[in-house]
Amino acid sequence: MSIHQAVFTAIFAVSVLSFMFSCYRRLQLVAIGVPENRFDNPFGRLLGMFNYAFAQKRVLSRPYGFNHFMLFWAFMLLLVANGEFLLEGLIPGVNLALLPQPLYHALQLLFDLVSVAALVSVLVALARRLLFPPEYLGNDYTRPASGEALLILAMIATLMGAFFLLNGAHIALGQSGSWRPVSAAIAAIIDGLPAAVLEGVAVAAWWLHALVLLLFMNFLPRSKHMHILTAIPNCYFKNLAKPNVQSRETFEKGERYGVSSVEQYSWKDLFDSLTCTECGRCQDLCPAHNTGKPLNPRRIVHDIKVNLLKNGPALKDGRTGLTSLIGEPAEGTIGEDALWSCTTCGSCTSVCPVLIEQMPKIVKMRRHLVQEKSQFPEELLNLFENMEQRGNPWGIAPSERTKWSSQLGERGFKPGESEYLFFVGCAGAFDSRNKHVTVALATILDAAGVSWGMLGKEEQCCGDSVRRLGNEYVFDKMARENVALFKEKGVSKIVTHCPHCFSTLKNDYRQYGLEIEVLHHSQMIAQLVESGRLKPARLPKLGNVIFHDSCYLGRHNDTYQAPRAVLKSVLGKAPGEFGRNRENGFCCGAGGGRMWMEEHSGTRINLERVKEAMNGKLPDTLCVSCPYCMTMMEDGLKDLGAADVIRVRDIAEVMAEGIS
Amino acid sequence: MLVISCIKQVPDTTQVKIDPVTNTLIRDGIPFIINPYDSHALEESLRLKDRYNMRTVALSMGPPNTVATLRKACALGVDEAILLSDRCFGGADTLATSKVLSAAIERLDRQEQVGIVFCGKQTIDGDTAQVGPGIASRLGFSQLTLVDRIESIDFLHKTIRVRRKLEGRHEIVEAPLPVMITVVRELNRPRYPTVPMRIESQETEIKVWDNSVLELDVETVGLKGSPTWVSKIFSPERDQGEIIGDGIADPVGTANLLIDRLLGKDLLAV
């Protein structure tokens, strides 16, 4: 064994052991989380992993993502080259040259070209971070050109440089063929040097490459570049259900509720925190962050990670951590105000390239605050008591639920007779503006000859707000009562014009054994139009129409087309769009229980959205498909003094006018 | 020193309607709630517990289903909840009610000195505001009504200083302990029960004291001991309103019409 080989073997062994030890330490920290089954449906999981990790579906949804895609695949291919490099360092002579010649040459060509691609990607990334960084790369705890980011880019560039220099020297010395065009170009430059110098260059480049490679490997588990190791499994372990459907809790003596310390998170939550790449896309879309609230979903995940690293070792040994997870905001500690700022719009979870679930982590912490500490913004006390006492957020007497239908006569749900249960929802029953939407939908259903009935004063809130606010105890009670009532009445199909009721009845109630057809009115109306049962005949005078996506209909239930189809069927053309629409839509500000809370800090989310509507060609009508959006958009327009200029209409009102 | 809160379970009056034919309350299916003013009384007793480590007891007179309301008090953190329930207590007016509550407080006082009794300023079903003062009179306690702030408690000299909320003014008064205090909503913001406390309260024993415990003369309690009789309940008749002007076509003219009409009825100050 040569000295060179012996020294390298020793360094290699230490590096690999140190790398494995770091990974093991990190995985041990992940293992303090509570169990969660993310092992079912392996085929579906592999498919997800392929789509999101290997095909980089979400990474590519933004133009710059292509650069990452290139770097990722360069990495994947160069894994083979680096494997060869390390192996040959350990056992000289064992290399790819042992393969059949044509294959070996093809690989040499490929590695050379891919290395150029990697180098170009790194330079683009460097330029982006240094010269034209997008705003969302930085925040209050990091900068686009952070030392860590620059170090990693420098390491990769060095690896590529050393690779070319090493191969160039080999070619110049005549030890390697010319199937490496880029290396050959380097060889042409250094060709005139004496052989001894070339030998020296080759040795230096080899060691530079070897040392940087091993250093890079050891740097990964200790930095945000851990994602290189965890992103692929993280995509495999993605939530196959809807991330917004929070897990149930059991209400028995001795149970704990929600999360106040990292070990109460599931292992997947903790794995998420180690996977975050700090790309900033969640931060870029978050309505709270965009309007100056103390919440940044990226920071939530970052703080969970910091807290895990600080407290994990103690927690692992059964002691308590010294850094509290919730408290005065600091590195590793999340402020309560941040938690209450979330609208649960889901933009963070739907944009994250590596499928981190930020928002559910927030709800888990809310659960702790509400259920174990009774600590929440004071406006919520009324909400919680109204929900418990009168089954609706306003605390209005249940007997008032049917007031909107006084003109319609008796429209109770008749078991065995009514086909659809019209779940009116609290806003549809009590809010004076939204009652018009309820009447419009009833008119539409009647016009199309749909058989429907409602529960009247027996109807109770679906519990959406209390669940997202972390009051699972009250939600659990309401869900059980509602499901029992639906079953007792023999309800098999539900239609509702509130996306929050829709999503809760359809997705959350599955946990309570309710698996029936639940339609949002946009879907129902679109179906009725398509089947010819509804024929819009009149063009309502709406002028320019712009459509605003509801988060609970769009992002949480992937329903983007139905409301647009409804509008198109009446207007004869597709409605106008906001700059941020569909998956990138911007919340109205009322989800996640924010409907019932004041906005104390920053600017108002609804104002930001309304201003966006007025950015381009001024619309005459702003169309919504959700009672909360209705309230928020109308309030926003009133605040801007534009309520007379732009009218807010629900798609049902537009359709009702179109068929009258 | 013991702090007692007297709480009453009342029908959710926003949901109660009066039967137009029989003129009685339609109580069917109407949920019961803790009298809102009493929830502030309960909260203040819990705050004293938190601050001075005083033992708290929630007391209620009512039918057996009142246990549900007392359980809520347990979930909020009272040390003990006692239901005063006996057929012979039924149909009581304020005089007979204060008699039963006073007897129970006296009984508690024999085991541990009672310092403060909190009551809501009135209930939302009876609206008499007499039971609290009745208790104070019977027991010879100082009587501080309509309190919206506890200024200070001097345990050494056994006095309490509070602020009373009166019409258009506040009054700061001091009285010797023991004291009966009736509270207004402004006093505090009631807490919300934690889930562990709710679950624990499911198993808490709610003591029930009937007349075999209190040993009161049955002629002086319940319906028999009540000089007040409700002869009739009715909704006051309202004159039919009218629609004047057209607020959409002529908002300014309509507003003027309305102002003239109100001035005509002497309902607006010029």
Q: Tell me the pLDDT tens digit for each residue of A40-64.
A: 999 999 999 999 999 999 999 999 9
Q: Measure in Å the smallest separation between the Cα of A236 and chain B Cα atoms.
A: 35
pLDDT tens-digit series, residues B88-126? 999 899 999 999 999 999 999 999 999 999 999 999 888
Tokens representing A586? 């911007």
Three-class DSSP category at A531: coil
Tokens representing A282? 């969640």
Q: Measure in Å the smallest separation between the Cα of B156 and chain A Cα atoms.
A: 34
Residue in A with minimal Cα distance to B193: A374
Contact assignment for A251 to B199 by CB distance below 8 Å? yes
Chain A residues lying within 8 Å of B196, measured CB to CB: 255, 257, 372
Which of B14, B192, B198 to mutate against chain A (most A CBs within 10 Å)? Answer: B192
Q: Is the pLDDT of residue A635 over 90?
A: yes
Burial class (CB in 10 A: 0-12, 13-18, 19+), A89: buried
User: How far is it, in rounded angstroms, from Cα A40 to Cα A5?
Assistant: 46
Q: State phi, psi for B152 to the nearest 5 degrees.
A: -165, 155
Residue from the list A374, A385, A398 with its beta carbon closest to the beta carbon of B194: A374
Residue in A with minimal Cα distance to B192: A374
pLDDT tens-digit series, residues B11-42? 887 777 777 776 667 767 778 899 999 999 99
Chain B residues lying within 8 Å of A389, measured CB to CB: 12, 31, 33
pLDDT tens-digit series, residues A431-466? 999 999 999 999 999 999 999 999 999 999 999 999
DSSP per-residue letters across B121-173: S--TTT----HHHHHHHHHT-EEEEEEEEEEEEETTTTEEEEEEEETTEEEEE
Q: State phi, psi for B83 to the nearest 5 degrees.
A: -105, 130
Chain A residues lying within 8 Å of B42, measured CB to CB: none
Q: Is the pLDDT of residue A221 over 80?
A: yes
Three-class DSSP category at A457: helix
Number of cross-chain residue pairs from A and B with Cβ atoms under 8 Å apart: 45
Burial class (CB in 10 A: 0-12, 13-18, 19+), A56: buried
Residue from the list B192, B198, B203 with its beta carbon closest to the beta carbon of A384: B192
Tell how far CA B135 is from the center of its chain.
13
Instruction: Decide if B157 touches A, using CB distance below 8 A.
Output: no
Residue from the list A376, A385, A473 with its beta carbon closest to the beta carbon of B198: A473
Residue from the list A257, A374, A395 with its beta carbon closest to the beta carbon of B192: A374
User: How far is it, in rounded angstroms, from Cα A538 to Cα B176?
Assistant: 78
- Residues of A with a Cβ under 8 Å from any B Cβ are 251-253, 255, 257, 370-374, 376, 378, 381, 384-385, 389-390, 395-399, 473
Instruction: Decide if B248 touches A, using CB distance below 8 A.
Output: no
User: How far is it, in rounded angstroms, from Cα A43 to Cα A127?
Assistant: 40
Residue from the list A251, A374, A397 with its beta carbon closest to the beta carbon of B14: A397
Q: Is the pLDDT of residue A69 over 90?
A: yes
User: How far is it, in rounded angstroms, from Cα A317 to Cα A333?
Assistant: 21
Residue from the list A371, A378, A399 with its beta carbon closest to the beta carbon of B189: A378
Q: Is the pLDDT of residue A209 over 80?
A: yes
User: How far is it, in rounded angstroms, from Cα A640 to Cα A351?
Assistant: 30
Chain A residues lying within 8 Å of B190, measured CB to CB: 381
If you average pLDDT over residues B39-49, what whole number do you get? 97
At the top level of CATH, the class of A3-30+62-236 is mainly alpha
Q: Is the pLDDT of residue A95 over 80?
A: yes
pLDDT band for position B270 (cuts 50, 70, 90): low
Chain B residues lying within 8 Å of A384, measured CB to CB: 192
Task: Break chain A into its structural domains and give their ranges.
Answer: 3-30+62-236, 262-371, 380-659
B128: left (phi over 0), alpha (psi -120 to 50) or beta: alpha
Residue B6: Cβ within 10 Å count: 29
How high is the pLDDT of residue A176? 78
Chain A residues lying within 8 Å of B199, measured CB to CB: 251-253, 255
One-letter amino acid for residue B110 of the chain = R
Q: Measure in Å the smallest separation between the Cα of A595 and chain B Cα atoms.
A: 20
pLDDT band for position B233 (cuts 50, 70, 90): confident
User: How far is it, in rounded angstroms, from Cα A278 to Cα A137?
Assistant: 8
pLDDT tens-digit series, residues A309-356? 999 999 999 898 899 999 999 999 999 999 999 999 999 999 999 999
How high is the pLDDT of residue B72? 94
Percentage of residues in chain A with pLDDT exceeding 90? 91
User: How far is it, in rounded angstroms, from Cα A243 to Cα A254?
Assistant: 27
How high is the pLDDT of residue A362? 98
- The packing angle between helices B131-139 and B94-111, to 10°, is 50
Residue (of B261, B268, B208) closest to B63 by Cα position: B208
β strands within A73-165, DSSP E: none
At the top level of CATH, the class of A262-371 is mainly alpha
Tokens representing A297? 């979903």
pLDDT tens-digit series, residues A168-185? 999 999 887 778 999 999
Model pTM score = 0.92
Residue in B with minimal Cα distance to A400: B15
* pLDDT mean across residues, chain A: 95
Contact assignment for B15 to A371 by CB distance below 8 Å? no
Q: Measure in Å the smallest separation between the Cα of B114 and chain A Cα atoms.
A: 29
How high is the pLDDT of residue B23? 67
A241: left (phi over 0), alpha (psi -120 to 50) or beta: beta
Instruction: Decide if B29 touches A, using CB distance below 8 A.
Output: no
pLDDT tens-digit series, residues A98-109? 899 999 999 999
How high is the pLDDT of residue A50? 97
Residue in A with minimal Cα distance to B32: A389
